[in-house]
Structure 1
């Protein structure tokens, strides 16, 4: 699989703001939105933030508020970090100006899903880092806002390494490799082996474990899509876990190499079979990839 460039070299402008009070939030957000309002060949800027912060912005903007888009961050960040990639890519494709020009004030829900565990936080830091590559060709300007009252010091320190306007910015591939250096736990002794990752067999197993039929179908399709993308496979497909956290591990005979595998939106709109690891990342809460000298281990967890 192809390897992406190791640095972000396009026009994407990815910034970070850290605040701990309402006044500090406004001090960072208002100049950014004013910059967007003054930019030529751009649609109105959009603020994606906590509802209370959106109210602060409306009051502070006065008459200019009608020229700004407001989206509660719980409406934008509705799933996994991979889902956020799809949301942002879809918005830029459908609403941005020439070359992807638009100003987006973005604040993940650190008091919700994004900050609910160290495992989840890792996925969002990966998203922040890989965004520098995913959106590199775009002239989008993004300001990521971090509230010290909901995002802890460790989260903010890690996020600084993912934003080019900080003094500790890391090459996205270096940061992603660091996150992937953590070994995966061994599969449990009672994991169910399957000769091949056929969707019907995976779905039957998931239903028997108690996963609702619709979810079982999505999980099984994700496994089959990942298996097709990783072929040729070596070794059995392993299944374990209690619903909704059903897990599947696949072993590929070749390395994946590309840290953006499954993150790059396909040409087709919407979620549909034939999209490989993209489909798997959109359906599953976690898709972990670990390369080694003999190939790659890929682990999918539904929720």
Structure 2
């Protein structure tokens, strides 16, 4: 089923469909794709879904399937929530109509990476919430399709809070703050202190722990870029973990104060000074920020 809001909050139209059978999926997807095909000035709608669901759509659409771009969701959702932001932003920039006009049917991968743990689920809900801010200026219409057979009731309930067309929609900044209110586990006793998180030192530590050379370079660069974005650090950096789950924790007196920090794509091909959190979110599986009265703790986990 799909619920709709009677008010328009921004050009970005972010909807949610919940289904528990193939017939219910088609009942939500086909009218949405028909709406996209009829939208003036818009390119063909895009269906990003499980391969089996795409086969259902092609069969149901018949000859009209030529008017819908189909992308397996395992090709779209290939990493972290921040990677999904980059994928969507890049696709809209290259394929959308004026002002970002496009219809996107989007089914997350809940029986794979995005749904394999409570941690992954929390990051995905963060992405769904922040999408309302990130894509607010875009005339994009997205229908997020949740299969209760793989997502489960708890995930669906949380996702409803991130979609403006439900009666439990929650302000994105508030929802992100709730996720960030969960305390981080303390560093392990054997964490290695590092006086300054220079890329060479982090790289050498990661390689010594067994992380492959190329991956160690990515992790070290993410740490160095984050440190530069935070400004002067307080105390020592800490390193711990077994490859590939290498972790670095940084502490700064600066308060970031922006729920979108590290999620807004840079205008150029490379992050500008101060945009190191964007790079870190693209490289690392998790980037956790926790603020208190004395500043910010940032914890980066490579995988």
- The C-alpha deviation readout for 1:89-143, integer Å capped at 9, x for no partner, is 0011111000000000001100101110000100000000000000000000000
The answer to whether the 8 Å contact 2:266/2:272 transfers is no
Q: Who is 2:203 aligned against?
A: 203
**For residues 107 and 248 of structure 2, what CA distance do their matches in structure 1 show?**
32
- The C-alpha deviation readout for 1:47-97, integer Å capped at 9, x for no partner, is 000000000000001111001000000000011111000000001111100
Q: Which has the higher contact order (CA 8 A, sep 6+)?
A: 1
The answer to whether the 8 Å contact 2:20/2:149 transfers is yes
**For residues 45 and 9 of structure 2, what CA distance do their matches in structure 1 show?**
23
Q: Who is 1:119 aligned against?
A: 119
SS in 2 for 1:47: strand
* Residue 237 of structure 1: how far off its partner (Å): 0.7
Structure 1: which 4+ aligned runs deviate by more than 2 Å?
Answer: 269-275
Q: Who is 1:12 aligned against?
A: 12
The answer to whether the 8 Å contact 1:273/1:279 transfers is no
Alignment of structure 1 residues 84-163 onto 2, 5 Å: 84-163=84-163
**For residues 93 and 191 of structure 2, what CA distance do their matches in structure 1 show?**
42
Q: Who is 1:236 aligned against?
A: 236
The answer to whether the 8 Å contact 2:230/2:274 transfers is no
**For residues 85 and 126 of structure 1, what CA distance do their matches in structure 2 show?**
11
Structure 1 residue 285 corresponds to structure 2 residue 296: no
Question: Normalising by the residue count of structure 2, what TM-score does the alignment of the two structures yield?
Answer: 0.96
| Alignment gaps of 5+ in structure 2 | 1-7
The answer to whether the 8 Å contact 1:221/1:273 transfers is no
Q: Who is 2:295 aligned against?
A: 295
The answer to whether the 8 Å contact 2:49/2:72 transfers is yes
The answer to whether the 8 Å contact 2:82/2:263 transfers is yes
Q: Who is 1:56 aligned against?
A: 56
RMSD: 1.3
Alignment of structure 1 residues 32-71 onto 2, 5 Å: 32-71=32-71
Alignment of structure 1 residues 73-84 onto 2, 5 Å: 73-84=73-84
**For residues 28 and 157 of structure 2, what CA distance do their matches in structure 1 show?**
18
The answer to whether the 8 Å contact 2:219/2:283 transfers is yes
The answer to whether the 8 Å contact 2:229/2:273 transfers is no
- The C-alpha deviation readout for 1:207-251, integer Å capped at 9, x for no partner, is 000000000000000000000000111111100000000000000
**For residues 79 and 223 of structure 1, what CA distance do their matches in structure 2 show?**
19
* Residue 275 of structure 1: how far off its partner (Å): 3.8
* Residue 274 of structure 1: how far off its partner (Å): 7.1
Structure 1 residue 266 corresponds to structure 2 residue 266: yes
The answer to whether the 8 Å contact 1:247/1:300 transfers is yes
**For residues 181 and 220 of structure 2, what CA distance do their matches in structure 1 show?**
28
Question: Normalising by the residue count of structure 1, what TM-score does the alignment of the two structures yield?
Answer: 0.96
The answer to whether the 8 Å contact 1:272/1:279 transfers is no
| Alignment gaps of 5+ in structure 1 | 1-7
* Residue 10 of structure 1: how far off its partner (Å): 2.5
